[in-house]
Amino acid sequence: MTETRRARVVEHDRCVVLAAPGVELVLDLADGYPIVRHWGEPLCGAGPDAVRLLATAAVPHSDLDDPVEPGMLRESARGFTGRPALRGHRAGAGFSPLFRLQGVRVDGTTATVSLGDPDAQLELEQRFTMTDQGVLLVDQALTNVGGSVYSVDELATWLPLPARATQTLDFAGRWLRERQPHRLPLAPGLRIREGREGRTGHDSTIVQCAMTSRTTTESGEAWGIAALWSGNTVHLVERDVVGRAALGAGELLEPGEVELAPRQTYTTPTIAVVYSAAGLDGMGERFHRWLRARPEHPRAPRPLTLNVWEAVYFDHDLDTLTRLAERAAAVGVERFVLDDGWFGSRRDDTSGLGDWTVSADAWPGGLGPLVERVKGLGMQFGLWFEGEMVNPDSDLYRAHPDWILHVPGRRPPLARHQLVLDLANPEAYAHVLERVHAIVSSEGVDYIKWDHNRVLTDAGHEGRPAVHAQTAAIYRLFDDLRSRNPGLEIESCASGGGRVDLGMALHADRFWTSDQNDPLERQQIQRWTSLAIPLEMLGSHVGPTVSHTSGRRHSIQMRAVTALFGHAGIEWNLLEATDEELAALRSWADLYKAQRGVLHSGRVVRVDHPDPSALVHGVVADDASSALFAYVQCTTSPGTRPAAFRLPGLTPDARYQVRPVWFGEPGVAQNRGPRWMDDGVVATGAALAAMGLNPPILRPEEAVLVVVTAMPAATDL
């Protein structure tokens, strides 16, 4: 059991060891069912007998006479009294399965464990794949081998935690305030985070974490588990009466949603499992490297994007939008996106949704003149859709009122004046696919912003729960659209960040991180969304001077620095911008294009900063040859001199040139700033990590950006 430079899976003495650099999971099958003996740092050659012996615990009086480890399945039949991995029944019978090992197969970096319970008439296959980046992917498939229907209530993936994991971290939120961190003691009992919106949801935890009391973003151990699924999910943490703790995740199933007929199989969503000995940033780096290694991950430089929603809303006018496109191109925009309001009777959000034909009222000459001008200016053209939804006031609904998700005999309550199309209905699916494809192919659309503006309630198909089928359908729809239109890119939006998850990351090219364009609010949203999703997939835009969501006024510096750390763009009516603001935007756009290679491939660093009034974060190139860091003054500092901020992650003995960057007028509250702000400074990576930089005294809600570049080896300090 030794660390390797690439992932590997070995089987020895009824143990399967799944290893990658910095992580090892030991799956013991000697007792006839899967028990995780170790999940953490590599054990450096410890043999199976030693691992089993080290894992043996004392037996208290209150325990079973012959206690056994519950294993991954946590079965009541083995004496476990916590939440089992499989919950289900066969008309009340078969409620307590007892699986036994039938076989194990190791193939490259994948181990497949086959289990069965002849009495419950069930077979279970567990597939474990260790990626080179140290992300363990777990898939389970349950097959009904009996002669009657078996109802699946839950099939979750559980992994045990060591005793030193005493805290949990998950994320909650709402529209405009997604993915806010909640760090709590790992208390006795069960903590459940359920998502029941039919989509991931603004309140969803993107990953469920456990950690030691000393773990920070930069250091310490962290364990994480996440469902690769965009429908209903459940993430779990449990400490049982014995004191054992575990993390779990799976799909949240409605009653009767999965009813297995004889020989039918339910396959769970993939569960991603991550361990880091380098803090939460180490966990994030594993997720990022894994997603970036996929062949379908976006490779081309992420184009600077302008979306027109907050510029014009539903007020579509060819002259205005043409002038906006010309101004966007002048500041360096590379992709121009026309948002809601171009189709059917859609002059506001009460009608027309579902009628995917260009509106003759809003666009009497069609979209062609705008598309031609946009592409003539050297920009890509993007278009907004919300293909899963329909307004009751639409031609589509009047023709097919039966095409919605619903419970027979009633219509679900409206949300934003809309209902949800049933994509499990083959006719509805084909209609949406053909209409969207027709627009994309005929109008020369390079990019889709795909929205999802309401939760799913009463989500039924032919009288049965249908969130699972609806989620599988949207994955298939995205894949079909891209197959029919090579090069097409798709952004996943759901009232902003309502469908941001690792499952959708496998089918979309970009997320609209949040409808919140206030840069102060965006700091935490982007900081924690990027724990799982790499920056190049997270849309981050420069909003207007006065935020449309919060009413706050922010400098161009604060807005630009915040938007830089992602797939950058603009959400602002540039026709209202001043000459000074346009010049600042041009400077920012030039820097983004020069630095996006680092921003979109480097290591994200969330610096542990002692001053709670400020946030510090950055991205360091993989070879540590360059970096960008932001110091953000969120509120007034408790001291008259703000604390120095460190720049970790650079090569200790290399020398670096550090220079500040301002877009527009510096937002300093007092002008006697530190001397390095004038002409920069040259220092070693060790000095920058240990001593850091003294920030200028900024006004609240202001930021400074520093660009770090390695100097030639012979450069003297």
What is the pLDDT, as a whole number, of residue 381?
Answer: 98
Helix (H, G, I), strand (E, B) or coil at 184: strand
- Kindly report, residue by residue over 224-258, the tens digit of the pLDDT: 999 999 999 999 999 999 999 999 999 999 999 99
Q: Answer whether residue 74 shows pLDDT above 70.
A: yes
Nearest to 126 by CA among 155, 152, 98: 155
Query: What whole-number distance in Å separates Cα of residue 138 and Cα of residue 140?
Result: 7
Is 107 known to be catalytic?
Answer: no
The larger pLDDT score, comparing residue 186 to residue 664, is at 186
Query: What whole-number distance in Å separates Cα of residue 272 and Cα of residue 25?
Result: 13
What is the pLDDT, as a whole number, of residue 63?
Answer: 86
User: Is the distance from CB of 33 to CB of 100 less than 8 angstroms?
Assistant: yes
Nearest to 598 by CA among 301, 221, 313, 260: 301
Query: What whole-number distance in Å separates Cα of residue 64 and Cα of residue 555?
Result: 65
State which amino acid sits at residue 655. Answer: R
What is the pLDDT, as a whole number, of residue 60?
Answer: 87
User: Is the distance from CB of 570 to CB of 305 less than 8 angstroms?
Assistant: yes
Helix (H, G, I), strand (E, B) or coil at 97: coil
Query: What whole-number distance in Å separates Cα of residue 360 and Cα of residue 31?
Result: 70
- Kindly report, residue by residue over 348-378, the tens digit of the pLDDT: 999 999 999 999 999 999 999 999 999 999 9
Query: What whole-number distance in Å separates Cα of residue 446 and Cα of residue 338?
Result: 12
- At residue 252, what are phi and psi to the nearest 5 degrees? -90, 115
Q: What sign does the CA torsion over 504, 508, 514, 519 have?
A: positive
Query: Nearest 10 degrees: CA dihedral of 575, 580, 582, 586?
Result: 180
Task: Report which secondary-structure segment, H or E, holds 676.
Answer: helix 676-679
pLDDT band at residue 3, thresholds of 50, 70 and 90?
Answer: very low
* Percent over 90 (pLDDT), the chain: 94
CA–chain centroid gap for 204, Å, is 10
- Kindly report, residue by residue over 306-342, the tens digit of the pLDDT: 999 999 999 999 999 999 999 999 999 999 999 999 9
Average pLDDT over residues 272-279: 98
- Kindly report, residue by residue over 395-416, the tens digit of the pLDDT: 999 999 999 999 999 999 999 9
Q: What sign does the CA torsion over 401, 404, 410, 413 have?
A: negative
- Kindly report, residue by residue over 5-21, the tens digit of the pLDDT: 799 999 999 999 999 99
pLDDT band at residue 670, thresholds of 50, 70 and 90?
Answer: low
Q: Answer whether residue 603 shows pLDDT above 70.
A: yes
Question: At CB < 8 A and 24+ separation, what contacts does 43-48 make?
Answer: 43/1, 44/1, 44/2, 44/3, 45/1, 45/2, 46/1, 47/1, 47/13, 48/12, 48/13, 48/14, 48/15
- Kindly report, residue by residue over 470-509, the tens digit of the pLDDT: 999 999 999 999 999 999 999 999 999 999 999 999 999 9
Q: Answer whether residue 64 shows pLDDT above 90.
A: no
Query: What whole-number distance in Å separates Cα of residue 256 and Cα of residue 464?
Result: 7
Domains along the chain with CATH numbers: 75-293 (2.70.98.60), 604-710 (2.60.40.1180)
End-to-end CA distance of the chain: 45
pLDDT band at residue 59, thresholds of 50, 70 and 90?
Answer: confident
- Residues with Cβ within 8 Å of 493's Cβ and at least 6 positions away in sequence, in order, are 449, 450, 451, 452, 499, 511, 512
Average pLDDT over residues 512-516: 98
What is the pLDDT, as a whole number, of residue 473?
Answer: 98
- Lowest-confidence region among 126-140, 369-383, 665-679: 665-679
Is 458 known to be catalytic?
Answer: no
Catalytic residue among 117, 139, 422, 451: 451
What is the pLDDT, as a whole number, of residue 66?
Answer: 85
Q: What sign does the CA torsion over 511, 516, 518, 519 have?
A: negative
What is the pLDDT, as a whole number, of residue 62?
Answer: 84
The Cα angle at residue 108 between residues 155 and 140, in degrees rounded to 5: 5
pLDDT band at residue 671, thresholds of 50, 70 and 90?
Answer: low
Q: Provide the β-strand partners of residue 80.
A: none
The DSSP bridge pattern shows strands 189-195 and 233-239 to be antiparallel
Average pLDDT over residues 66-87: 94
Query: What whole-number distance in Å separates Cα of residue 308 and Cα of residue 337?
Result: 6
pLDDT band at residue 714, thresholds of 50, 70 and 90?
Answer: low
Query: What whole-number distance in Å separates Cα of residue 123 and Cα of residue 703?
Result: 57
CB count, 10 Å around CB of 414? 12
Query: What whole-number distance in Å separates Cα of residue 340 and Cα of residue 382?
Result: 11
Q: In which residue are the tokens 């795909």 written?
A: 450
- Quick one: tokens of 38? 């170790």
What is the pLDDT, as a whole number, of residue 2?
Answer: 39
Beta strands in 70-156 (DSSP E): 86-89, 100-107, 110-117, 122-130, 135-144, 150-155
What is the pLDDT, as a whole number, of residue 669?
Answer: 60
- Quick one: tokens of 106? 């190791």
Catalytic residue among 203, 340, 355, 515: 515
User: Is the distance from CB of 164 to CB of 275 less than 8 angstroms?
Assistant: no
User: Is the distance from CB of 171 to CB of 528 less than 8 angstroms?
Assistant: yes
Nearest to 403 by CA among 378, 391, 386, 420: 420
The DSSP bridge pattern shows strands 567-570 and 603-606 to be unpaired
